[in-house]
């Protein structure tokens, strides 16, 4: 089973949480979309992504719906994967005063309100990275021991009981925007599946294993969970970049 450790990046982010690295970077925009207006929001975003400015970057963008979000009012996320912070900065400058940007903002005015935005960078991943996974279990955490969390997950995913794991799992550090409606967040564990049924079947199995019991002991000592929700991918736009490139 694939296990990718982002060497120097992982070590530096564990020891210096606020440090920004020239590395794959995720920007998450959370939105509260009015009831009945989700299709209008999706259409506005689609128009932007198909515009010249929308495609003039190296990035992958997801529109996601959020389920079971606790006290967080966000209903949707726009998630953008960049190969670097520099690429993100370059595109944001082009977008800021563009006609496509103004059109997008006018289109969503009155139907969607921004809730939060934050920047993430991956520390470690396991499983098979694939766009076939469109349902994600997102665990948001305050981590007190990053090294123990990473090694505990590594042991779990390399245990014999995990050989048939069907999806992908990421340990991600939130490097900017740690204050959130659902509490202070330092890290996320994000697990991708092809369906909720696949997620349910895997979790039912894993909860019976000794590997899970060991991981649960590590988790109890290493972090607290501030929120947990699911997301469904509604649309994916590859702008000269894919999830496989990001990995």
Residue 139, CA distances (Å) to 85, 187, 216 in order: 24, 8, 14
Task: State residue 10's pLDDT score.
Answer: 41
**CATH of residue 110:** 3.30.70.100
Structure tokens at 199: 């997620």
Question: Domain tally for the chain?
Answer: 1
Rounded CA separation 220/235 (Å):
35
Q: State the average pLDDT over residues 73-94.
A: 97
Helices (H), 188-236: 196-206, 210-222
> Which sign, positive or negative, has the C-alpha torsion 32, 34, 38, 43?
negative
241 or 17: which leads in pLDDT: 241
pLDDT over 60 at 108, yes or no? yes
Phi, psi dihedral angles at 102 (to 5 degrees): -65, -40
pLDDT over 80 at 127, yes or no? yes
Rounded CA separation 9/13 (Å):
6
In this predicted model, what pLDDT tens digit does every residue of 152-180 receive, in sequence order? 999 999 999 999 999 999 999 999 999 98
pTM of this structure: 0.89
Instruction: Classify residue 157 by burial, with Cβ atoms within 10 Å: 0-12, 13-18, 19+.
Output: buried
For 213-223, letters b (16+ CB in 10 Å) and e give: eebeebbeebb
Q: State the average pLDDT over residues 79-100.
A: 96
Q: Which domain holds residue 43?
A: 3-246
């Amino acid at each position: 089973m694939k296990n990718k450790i982002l060497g120097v990046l992982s070590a530096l982010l564990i020891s210096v949480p606020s440090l920004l690295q020239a590395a794959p970077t995720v920007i998450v925009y959370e939105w509260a979309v009015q009831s009945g207006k989700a299709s209008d929001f999706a259409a506005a975003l689609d128009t932007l992504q198909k515009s010249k400015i929308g495609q003039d970057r190296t990035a992958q963008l997801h529109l996601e719906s959020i389920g079971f979000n606790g006290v967080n009012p966000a209903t949707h996320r726009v998630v953008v994967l960049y190969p670097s912070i520099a690429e993100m900065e370059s595109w944001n400058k082009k977008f800021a005063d563009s006609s496509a940007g103004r059109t997008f903002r006018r289109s969503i005015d009155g139907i969607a309100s921004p809730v939060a935005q934050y920047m993430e960078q991956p520390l470690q991943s396991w499983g098979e990275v694939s766009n076939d996974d469109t349902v994600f279990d997102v665990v948001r955490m305050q981590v007190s021991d990053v090294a123990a969390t990473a090694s505990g997950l590594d042991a779990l995913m390399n245990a014999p009981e995990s050989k048939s794991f069907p999806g992908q799992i990421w340990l991600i550090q939130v490097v900017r925007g740690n204050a959130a409606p659902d509490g202070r967040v330092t890290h996320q564990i994000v697990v991708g599946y092809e369906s909720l049924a696949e997620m349910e079947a895997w979790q039912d199995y894993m909860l019976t294993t000794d590997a899970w019991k060991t991981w649960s002991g590590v988790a109890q000592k290493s972090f607290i969970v501030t929120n947990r929700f699911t997301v469904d991918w509604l649309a994916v736009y590859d702008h000269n970049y894919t999830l496989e490139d990001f990995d």
